[in-house]
A and B are shown apart, each in its own frame.
Chain A
Amino acid sequence: MSTTNIASDNPRRSLVVDAARLRRYRIEGMVRYVLMVCAGVSVLTTVGIVVLLLFESLQFFGTVSIVEFVTGTQWAPQNQQYGILPLLCGTLLVTAGAALVAIPLGLGTAIYLSEYATPWIRETVKPALEILAGVPSVVFGYLALIVISPIIRDWVPNADPANAACAAIVVGFMILPTVISLSEDVLRSVPRSLREAGYALGATKFDVTVKVIVPAAMSGIVASFLLAISRAIGETMAVTLAAGGTPRITANPFESIQTMTAYIVEKTGGENAHGTPEYRTIFAVGLTLFVSTMLLNLAAQAILSRVREKYE
């Protein structure tokens, strides 16, 4: 009887009046609230982000029309030109390039690791890729600027010293681990019976992999792409170092461009007066960034939770 009382959530129901126990109940109750506050901090963080970004952005849109912000093709806050399209174009160019690098390489590696590799290879390569995931973004920026950019300029002589292509390449490497580890998980969670049914019908490994396993794992693979793309959009230090810093609308990857994240770094890195419209631009850009990555993450999570229900 007393055990259930002590473990129960409602100490008031207990008849025990022993002082030591009473104190313990009080501690029990306090602990619950302390832990709840800890969990509440994460909710507060989200609320803080949303309120701050909205508050500053709304003030910004009080001086600059939202139509100009969304449709303007010139981004030069020092000249009161606030069109976000050049920054969006820069982000899009880098992200598309990164996806072009990461998706084929990542999917190929994931398929090899899950379908072909011996356990020994898998146990060796996966930790190596974890190292890749742990390398800080600024290191990739350095590599792009100092190692990859000269190589690109050897091939394309009229490329800018820092250009979208070298940023896209390193961002592609940065998001590789996301693509590989998630896709590999999903591929491996496809039931063994599906593979064996395929082989029993006389299919080759290629047929089984491409026509059975990959389609069965498709939604999870797409989710891994979405998460990787969201990471690429939010990637900051590498693109700041590698992509140049000229906001412009272009599809030429060998030109210097600026992404949303790089603009925030440029503005906050220099001296800027607190409370001016120029200062508030970073919050408007930040809001755009936050919303676009959050939508991608939510979509990926929705897909992933459906996948988990399917196979677990």
Chain B
Amino acid sequence: MTNLAAEQELMARYRQRKRLLSKLFGAVCLMAMISCVAILAFLLISVLWRGFDYLGWDLIRNLPSRSAAKAGIWVYLIGSLWLIGLTTLFAVPLGVGAALYLEEYAAESRWKRIVQLNIANLAGVPSIVYGLLGLGIFVYILNLGQSILAGALTLTLVVLPIVILASQEALRAVPGSIRQASYALGATRWQTTWRQVLPAAMPGIMTGVILAVSRALGEAAPLVAMGAVQYVDRAPTSVWDTFSALPLAIFYWAMHSKPEFHDLAAAAIIVLLVVLISLNMVAAFVRYRFGKKVRW
């Protein structure tokens, strides 16, 4: 009798311990998540805090200067706009074309599997390696020098896997019945692809393109590796001009010996993050708004 009671009490205590352990584990995991979010918030707020005083139209309009109070990001901003404009121009047709080939044209074959594996691998290649490629091929072999064109071509290679993978995903989501219906009406493969499949996949592709643009906008390593210049005194006017970009300005200002420049870098970071977050919001909007329009 006492044995059974003792055993029951033991089991009760065991269960209680188990339940406590389970709760504790949940709490630990919750703490992990909260600390992730909290650290993210802390970092963003500390940048906002430091850069706040420098925000204003002067920051956007002014040319680089030796004094932090007078320096602005105009030439860097224009350089970045040139870069992402050209990069989009190169990367979107190439990336969407490659995705169309892989999803709509290529037959299941070893060649297709190799291309696919290759793209997945390129997505994981460190961006600085692309910078070395840009340095070796575009700057020296094609002799483009440290021009915007060379920079944009390098960035194109960096973001190409992103565009391809996102477009493939979007194309795969278009149901086969759409294609069959189009073929049944006598359309050719390209007519089907161009008039039916591509418009249906557009929201997904746009999301991928915006992701790629934001990556290109924030990327500094490949530009440094291909030798983008640190100091330019005027905004570029053609694709052959030397250039600098917003992330490069942040890089050099963060290393500056005068602490005022650190605050200036923080202000430039705020501008960059505002642009990036707006781009992400546009992507979310496109996904939401146009994703709903097409129903199968």
Contacts and interface: CB of A to CB of B under 8 A. Distances in A.
B133 interface: yes
B1 to A, nearest CB: 26
A113 B187 CA distance: 47
A234 B43 contact: no
Given A38-B94, A136-B220, A131 B280 contact: yes
Contact of B118 (A3, A27, A46, A234): A46
Contacts of A137: 218-221
A147 interface: yes
Interface stretch (B68-76, B81-89, B269-277): B269-277
B126 interface: yes
Interface residues of B, number: 94
B251 A206 contact: no
A70 interface: no
Sort chain A's interface into a size bin: 35 or more
Interface stretch (A77-85, A152-160, A235-243, A248-256): A235-243
Contacts of A240: 251
Interface string A52-65: 11001000000000
A129 interface: yes
Given A7-B183, A41-B160, A237 B220 contact: yes
A234 B224 contact: no
Contacts of A46: 118, 121-122
B288 interface: no
A28 B188 contact: yes
A184 B133 CA distance: 35
Nearest to B101: A35
Nearest to B279: A134
B56 interface: no
A268 interface: yes
Given A32-B105, A205-B25, A52 B136 contact: yes
Nearest to A245: B255
Nearest to A172: B39
A6 interface: yes
B18 A265 contact: no
Given A137-B220, A236-B126, A289-B126, A38 B225 contact: no
- The dominant DSSP class at the A interface is helix
A92 interface: no
B21 A38 contact: no
Interface string B116-155: 0111111011111111110111001000000000000000
A35 B94 CA distance: 8
B171 interface: no
Contacts of A27: 190
A28 B133 CA distance: 34
- The dominant DSSP class at the B interface is helix
B211 to A, nearest CB: 8
B136 A143 contact: no
B173 interface: no
B39 A173 contact: yes
A6 B117 contact: no
Interface in A1-51: 2-3, 6-7, 9, 24-25, 27-28, 31-32, 34-39, 41-43, 45-46, 48-49
A204 B19 contact: yes
B214 interface: yes
Contacts of B164: 42
B36 A131 contact: no
B97 A34 contact: yes
Contacts of B220: 136-138, 236-237
Interface string A288-307: 01100110111001000000
A136 B40 contact: no
Which one of A117, A231, A268, A289 has the greatest number of beta carbons of chain B within 10 Å?
A: A268
Nearest to A132: B40
A61 B29 CA distance: 50
Nearest to A294: B121
Which one of A3, A27, A109, A282 has the greatest number of beta carbons of chain B within 10 Å?
A: A109
A259 B26 CA distance: 37
Contact of B101 (A39, A112, A230, A286): A39
A107 to B, nearest CB: 8
Given A35-B101, A137-B221, A286 B18 contact: no
Contacts of A113: 33
A138 B140 CA distance: 26
B227 A268 contact: yes
Contacts of B190: 27-28, 31
A48 B132 CA distance: 11
A204 B140 contact: no
Interface in B37-64: 37, 39-40, 43, 46-47, 50
10 contacts: A7-B187, A31-B190, A39-B101, A39-B106, A45-B160, A108-B29, A112-B32, A113-B33, A128-B40, A261-B221
- Shortest 8 CB-CB distances between A and B: which pairs? A234-B126, A136-B218, A108-B32, A38-B97, A112-B29, A35-B101, A206-B22, A236-B221
Interface of B: 18-19, 21-22, 24-26, 28-33, 35-37, 39-40, 43, 46-47, 50, 93-98, 100-102, 105-106, 114-115, 117-122, 124-133, 135-137, 140, 157, 160-161, 164, 183-190, 192, 214, 217-221, 224-227, 230, 247, 250-251, 254-255, 262, 265-266, 269, 272-273, 276-277, 280, 284
Given A42-B161, A180-B36, 7 more contacts: A6-B186, A137-B219, A138-B218, A143-B47, A206-B21, A206-B25, A268-B227
